[in-house]
Structure 1
Amino acid sequence: MRFILFVLLFLSFAYALGLVLANNTEIGVNLLFSQAPAMNLGLLLILCMTLGIIIGMLLSLLIFRVLQNKWEISRLQKLNKNLQEQVAQANVVIDRQANAPTVEEAVYGATASNVHDEASTDPIETATLTKRKRE
């Protein structure tokens, strides 16, 4: 990997040197509101190309980060929706279990509170009622 990087660096340096040597004309640069001193055309081309590459890389990284954040937000919203559906289903199951008849209700046909109320008034009557309900 270092060898490939070294070769690419060498080729870009050779290209820049060739560009400076081939374009050795002095040129003045007008920056609309100011004037830059006269410089070599090849050097100006290399400077503009380098600035363009750097600005392009920074913008592409920024755009990629924005897109990556949007993808992450979308993924998390889908996950949140799925979790909300699971909570709703769990609440339905809990409600069904809370409203399901208890063992005493299923066996005796009365609520536990009715049996308890009857037992608190008169134990003999409660035993008789419980016996009748079993039959």
Structure 2
Amino acid sequence: MKDMLMTIYNQLLTNEYIRDMTQIDSSQDYRIKFYEYPENGDRSGAFITIRPMQPISEAYHASNKEMSVSFWYQIDVECRYRMTAKEIQYQIKKEMKKLGFGQSSDGLDEYFSETKHYVDARRYTGNSKIYDTAY
């Protein structure tokens, strides 16, 4: 069985800018998490949260057989500098396109004074290739 969350995570880490902006010091750990960012997580730099917006669902079917599945994710970027959040999201959009995802409507573009962070959250939808349904 395949895991699209890990596929997205690994694709984001192929991008040098995203990797550099989310790497924790000189370790091999990154500030990229699934579902929600931990309260005690490293917030010293930009961090990314990848969250499914709904369970994986059938995209196409024929002769009572699932032919393709549909994905819908929201990717949040949080950091202290507005333009850093924008650049990271721009790079994320490029990487998501490589996986066959397109940006959909909705999202968030705000500054939270409590945390002193800018948040740029965008949603992406995509379908698997035909016969690629083991998710």
Instruction: Tell me which interval the TM-score lies in, with the shorter structure as reference length.
Output: under 0.3
TM-score, with normalisation over the residues of structure 1?
Answer: 0.19
Higher strand share: 2
* Higher RCO structure, 1 or 2 (CA under 8 Å, sep 6+): 2
Specify the structure having the higher radius of gyration (Cα): 1
Task: Identify, as 1 or 2, the structure richer in helix.
Answer: 1
